[in-house]
Amino acid sequence: MLSSILLAVITSTLAAAHTIITYPGWRGDNLITNSTWPYGMQWTYPCGGIQLTTNRSYWPTTGGAVAFQPGWFQGHQTAFLYINLGFGTTGPDGGPENMSFPMIAPFQILGPSKGPYPGTMCLPQVPLPSNMSFNAGDNATIQVVEIAQHGAALFSCADITFAEPGDERIAKVNESNCFNSTDIGFAEIYTVTTKEIGDAANIPTSAATLWSAWSWLGYLPVIACSLWFSI
């Protein structure tokens, strides 16, 4: 009985805060935890365990909308979001080799609680990565990365084919597929330099302070041995 309870708790923890891409078309359902993926598929780089597919959506050559649901399962109240682009055919699955081209600056999402909140977020105009351009007919992959509160990353992808703006094959963006739920908030991410390169180490965190204050405990075994042999 106890083991089954622990298993349920572990499973719910591993299935935390998964992401579903709702626009453009999702590469595929990777909300799966089984014997092959005991920790869940979506933790797997670069696209949550799903290989390149032919399920491509047309997307403008000038950038376009990206919509997703960030908290489908029980998980974390806050997370960081990244949206990247990959292109080329040299990857192991015949797609992009990596997704190292940021399309936007990362930002934080704020959920109403640690419970599931499958509300929708939409960025109506995600630009192409800096100094990059594509032609109609080029293939690429959009990657959405959600960094959970404990530091693990969840990956989801949408495979696209670029098309000229106004091409009728591009799915229309409207209030039905691009909206932001009222129960999800946004926050910008700021950084503050606490140690310049070349300066002496100075980590002003409570954990570091605690370590410094109690670091002498590490010498207790040496002190104990010295006292023992001196008797």
Task: Please write the tens of the pLDDT for every residue from 90-102.
Answer: 999 888 999 999 9
Name, in order, each residue with C-beta under 8 angstroms of 170's C-beta and a sequence gap of 6 or more: 58, 59, 60, 64, 163
Domain extents in the chain = 2-188
**What tens digit of pLDDT does each residue of 166-179 get?**
999 999 999 999 99
- Token pair for 105: 């600056």
Tell me how long the chain is: 231
pTM for this entry: 0.77
Check pLDDT > 50 for residue 69.
yes
**What tens digit of pLDDT does each residue of 111-134 get?**
888 777 778 999 999 999 999 999
Architecture label for domain 2-188: Distorted Sandwich (2.70)
Average pLDDT over residues 151-165: 94
